[in-house]
A and B are shown apart, each in its own frame.
Chain A
Amino acid sequence: DSGVTQTPKHLITATGQRVTLRCSPRSGDLSVYWYQQSLDQGLQFLIQYYNGEERAKGNILERFSAQQFPDLHSELNLSSLELGDSALYFCASSTQGQPEQFFGPGTRLTVL
């Protein structure tokens, strides 16, 4: 158990809908990262937050957005969902000054 929690574990929705994925980092970690992993694909970095501020953006679609709240939990919002958005979405966190990222169990999103 890494100490990173994600909810929900599974999400099934329809095309065109909007969903919100939630992540709580390890206690004391200020950085949160979001990743997408499609079937048999590698990890694709989406976005990073540090202490509430966006720090880096990867291959994140304009239909996707994220934020980090004062209590350091983060939410990833996915809108106008398409079939191709079906994937595992992982959140990771890291401690200030330490590069290692610790991953949550993921949310499996299925878009029908």
Chain B
Amino acid sequence: EDQVTQSPEALRLQEGESSSLNCSYTVSGLRGLFWYRQDPGKGPEFLFTLYSAGEEKEKERLKATLTKKESFLHITAPKPEDSATYLCAVQDMDSNYQLIWGAGTKLIIKP
């Protein structure tokens, strides 16, 4: 059964303190892995798509990487405005464009 597990559930960092969020997945065949950012009460905002192991994508202070079993979202020198819940989702080769979602990591950056 397809499964996505994100860790930690919550992460508190000081401004400027770099860290990583983890997304572990189990699928029969990966079509794609997706990272989203969600602010409270708002719709998820698309960040990255990763398709194959070894692939990396960057956007400002965020960098997403992918292995055959997990993805990391690295946050470098975060600012308070990076505080949000970060969601990971995967799409199985056999799915009909459905995404399997993780529960998210709530990131809090303290000034």
Q: How far is the CA of A103 from the CA of B99 in the complex (A)?
A: 13
Q: Does A24 contact B (CB under 8 A)?
A: no
Known: A42-B102, A99-B34. A31 touches B43 (CB 8 A): no
How many B residues have CB within 8 A of the partner chain?
22
Contact A100 B41 (CB under 8 A): no
Contact B43 A2 (CB under 8 A): yes
Contact B99 A45 (CB under 8 A): yes
Tell me which residues across on chain A come within 8 A of B96, comparing CB atoms. Answer: 48, 55-56
The segment from B44-52, B57-65, B76-84 that touches chain A is B44-52
Contact B43 A99 (CB under 8 A): no
Residue of B nearest to A45 (CB): B98
Q: Does B103 contact A (CB under 8 A)?
A: yes
B residues 83-103 in Cβ contact with A at 8 Å: 87, 91, 95-99, 101-103
Q: Does A111 contact B (CB under 8 A)?
A: no
Known: A42-B104, A99-B91, A100-B34. A88 touches B41 (CB 8 A): yes
Known: A42-B101, A42-B104, A56-B97. A103 touches B45 (CB 8 A): yes
Shortest distance from the beta carbon of A38 to any chain B beta carbon, whole Å = 12
Q: Does B32 contact A (CB under 8 A)?
A: yes
Contact A106 B101 (CB under 8 A): no
Known: A99-B32, A99-B34. A58 touches B98 (CB 8 A): yes
In the assembled complex, 29 residue pairs joining A and B whose CB atoms fall closer than 8 Å, in A order, are A2-B46, A4-B43, A42-B87, A42-B101, A42-B102, A43-B87, A45-B98, A45-B99, A48-B96, A48-B97, A48-B98, A55-B97, A56-B95, A56-B96, A88-B41, A94-B97, A99-B34, A99-B97, A99-B99, A100-B49, A101-B99, A103-B36, A103-B43, A103-B44, A103-B45, A104-B43, A105-B42, A106-B42, A106-B43
